[in-house]
Amino acid sequence: MVIVTTRIPGVANMVRTVDHSIEMEHLGPQDIMSLFEAYVFGDQQQPWQEHYELHDVGLKIVKNLKGSPLAAKTVGRLLRNQLTRDHWTRVSESKEWESQVSDNDIMPALKLSYDYLPFHLQQCLSCCALFPEDYEFHAEELVHLWIGLGILHSDDQKKRIEDVGLCYLTDLVNQGFFKKNVSSFGSPCYTIHDLLLELVVKVSSYECLSISSSNVMSIQIPPSVRHLSIIVDDADVKDKVTFEDYKRGLRALEKRFEVQNLQTLMLFGEYHANFSRVFRGLFFEARALRTVFFSGASYNVEDVLPNFPKLVHLRYLRIKSSAGFYDDKSLCVPSVLCRLYHLEVIDLLGWKGRFGSTRYMSNLVKLRHFVVPREELHSDIFEVGKLNFINELRAFRVRKESEVFELSQLGKLGNIGGLLGIYNLEKVQSEEEATESKLIQKSHMQELILGWDVHRSNRNPTFEENVLENLVPHRNLQCLRIRGHGGTNCPRWLSSNLSVKNLESLSLDDLSWGNLPPLGEMWMVNGLGLEYQNCNLGQRFQNLKRLELVKIPRLRKWVWDNTSHLFSQLEELTIKDCSELTELRSSHHSCDQPQQEKSMAWFCRLRSLRIKDCPKLLSFPPIPWTSGPCSAVIEQVGNGLEKLVYIEENGSESTYSLEVEGKDGQDCVFLNKLVFSNLTYLKKLVMRNCSPLPLDRLLMLTSLEFLQISGSSNVLSLVESLSHVRCQLPVKKISVERCGCNGKELTQLLSLVPELTQMKIVGCEEIKWLGVAEQSSTSSSAAAAEKLYHGQIGQQQRESKGGVDGVLLLTPQLQKLTIEGFPELSLLSYSLEGDREGGGLQGLRSLQSLKIRNCPMLLHSYSISSIPFLTSLQELMLMDCGEFRGEGIGPLLAQCHLTKLSIFKTPNFFAGSEPLDKELLPRSSAHQELDLRTDDIAGFLAAHRCSLLSSSLTTLTIGSNEDAERFTHEQAEALVLLTSLHTLVFIYCEKLQCLPAGLNRLASLETLQIVECQVIRSLPEDGLPSSLQKLDISRCPAIKSLPKGSLPSSPQLLVIYKCPALMSLPKNGLPSSLQNLVIWDCPALKSLPEDGLPRSLQELQIAGCAAINSLPKGGLPRSLQVLDVGYCDNEELKRQCRKLRGTIPKMLI
pLDDT at 696: 86
Provide the CA 117 distance to its chain's centre, in angstroms.
39
pLDDT digits (tens, 9 = 90+) for 919-976: 445 434 445 789 999 999 999 999 988 988 888 899 999 999 999 999 999 999 999 9
Phi and psi angles of residue 975, each rounded to the nearest 5 degrees, phi first = -60, -40
Tell me how many helices (H) and strands (E) the chain has. 27, 45
| DSSP codes of every residue in 763-778 | --TT--EEEE--GGGS
- Is the domain spanning 205-373 CATH 1.10.1200.10? The answer is no
| Residues 267, 1060: Cα–Cα separation, whole Å | 41
pLDDT at 920: 46
Strand partners, 318: 293, 347
Average pLDDT rounded to a whole number, residues 630-654: 85
pLDDT at 151: 93
143 pLDDT more than 90? yes
pLDDT at 895: 62
Phi and psi angles of residue 613, each rounded to the nearest 5 degrees, phi first = 55, 50
| Residues 557, 532: Cα–Cα separation, whole Å | 10
200 pLDDT more than 70? yes
pTM (2 d.p.): 0.84
- Give, in order, the Cα–Cα distances in Å from 102 to each of 24, 75, 97, 438, 505: 17, 19, 11, 64, 55
pLDDT at 923: 38
The answer to whether the CB of 212 falls within 8 A of the CB of 231 is yes
The answer to whether the CB of 540 falls within 8 A of the CB of 501 is yes
799 pLDDT more than 70? no
| Residues 840, 855: Cα–Cα separation, whole Å | 14
| Residues 697, 685: Cα–Cα separation, whole Å | 13
The secondary structure of residue 434, as a DSSP letter, is H
Nearest of 502, 438, 508 to residue 470 by alpha carbon? 438
For the chain, the domains span: 117-204, 205-373, 888-1027, 1029-1037+1048-1149
- Give, in order, the Cα–Cα distances in Å from 512 to each of 105, 485, 489, 911, 993: 69, 8, 8, 72, 65
Residue 1065: Cβ-neighbour burial (10 angstroms; 0-12, 13-18, 19+): buried
Residue 713 or 307, more confident: 307
Q: Give the pLDDT band of residue 4 (cuts 50, 70, 90).
A: low
| Residues 991, 707: Cα–Cα separation, whole Å | 42
Q: Give the pLDDT band of residue 841 (cuts 50, 70, 90).
A: confident
pLDDT at 791: 52
pLDDT at 565: 63
pLDDT at 925: 43
790 pLDDT more than 80? no
| DSSP codes of every residue in 296-331 | EE-S-HHHH-TTGGG-TT--EEEEEE-TTPPP-TT-
Instruction: State percent of the chain over pLDDT 90.
Output: 52
Average pLDDT rounded to a whole number, residues 1060-1081: 89
Max Cα–Cα distance, the chain, nearest Å: 99
pLDDT at 102: 54
Sign of the alpha-carbon dihedral angle for 92, 95, 100, 105: negative
589 pLDDT more than 70? no
| Residues 205, 428: Cα–Cα separation, whole Å | 56
Rg of the Cα trace of the chain? 37
134 CB neighbour count, 10 Å cutoff: 10
pLDDT digits (tens, 9 = 90+) for 1079-1091: 999 999 999 987 7
The answer to whether the CB of 896 falls within 8 A of the CB of 925 is no
Q: Where are the alpha helices (DSSP H) in 51-93?
A: 55-64, 69-80, 85-92
Residue type, 291: T
Average pLDDT rounded to a whole number, residues 775-793: 53
Nearest of 268, 280, 119, 147 to residue 203 by alpha carbon? 119
pLDDT digits (tens, 9 = 90+) for 446-502: 999 999 999 988 889 999 999 999 999 999 999 999 999 999 999 999 998 999 999
pLDDT at 873: 86
The SS3 call for residue 795 is helix
pLDDT at 896: 60
| Residues 847, 694: Cα–Cα separation, whole Å | 30
319 pLDDT more than 80? yes
Q: Which residues lie closer than 8 Å to 679 by C-beta, 6 or more apart?
A: 624, 656, 658, 700, 701
Q: Which residues lie closer than 8 Å to 374 by C-beta, 6 or more apart?
A: 355
Q: Give the pLDDT band of residue 10 (cuts 50, 70, 90).
A: low
Q: Which CATH architecture has domain 117-204?
A: Orthogonal Bundle (1.10)
pLDDT digits (tens, 9 = 90+) for 714-742: 888 875 544 555 678 899 999 999 998 99
Residue 117 or 726, more confident: 117
pLDDT digits (tens, 9 = 90+) for 11-65: 555 556 666 566 555 677 777 777 877 877 777 766 776 777 777 777 777 777 7
pLDDT at 879: 94
pLDDT digits (tens, 9 = 90+) for 681-697: 899 999 999 888 888 88
Lowest-confidence range among 278-287, 397-406, 543-552, 560-569?
Answer: 560-569
- Give, in order, the Cα–Cα distances in Å from 677 to each of 130, 594, 691, 1007: 53, 10, 19, 55
pLDDT at 15: 54
Nearest of 679, 681, 673, 749 to residue 709 by alpha carbon? 749
pLDDT digits (tens, 9 = 90+) for 406-430: 999 999 998 999 999 999 999 999 9
788 pLDDT more than 60? no
779 pLDDT more than 60? no
pLDDT digits (tens, 9 = 90+) for 386-407: 999 999 999 999 987 777 789 9
Residue type, 451: G
376 pLDDT more than 50? yes
| Residues 227, 352: Cα–Cα separation, whole Å | 26
The secondary structure of residue 380, as a DSSP letter, is T
pLDDT, the chain, mean: 85
Q: Give the pLDDT band of residue 837 (cuts 50, 70, 90).
A: very low
| Residues 238, 1099: Cα–Cα separation, whole Å | 12
Q: Give the pLDDT band of residue 269 (cuts 50, 70, 90).
A: very high
592 pLDDT more than 70? no
pLDDT at 400: 74
Lowest-confidence range among 356-365, 752-761, 768-777, 1114-1123?
Answer: 768-777
Lowest-confidence range among 728-742, 767-781, 1051-1065, 1117-1131?
Answer: 767-781
| Residues 382, 405: Cα–Cα separation, whole Å | 7
229 pLDDT more than 80? yes
282 pLDDT more than 70? yes
Same fold, 117-204 and 205-373: no
pLDDT digits (tens, 9 = 90+) for 1011-1059: 999 999 888 888 899 999 999 999 999 998 887 677 888 899 999 999 9
Average pLDDT rounded to a whole number, residues 974-983: 95
| Residues 814, 563: Cα–Cα separation, whole Å | 54
186 pLDDT more than 80? no
81 CB neighbour count, 10 Å cutoff: 12
564 pLDDT more than 70? no
| Residues 116, 112: Cα–Cα separation, whole Å | 6
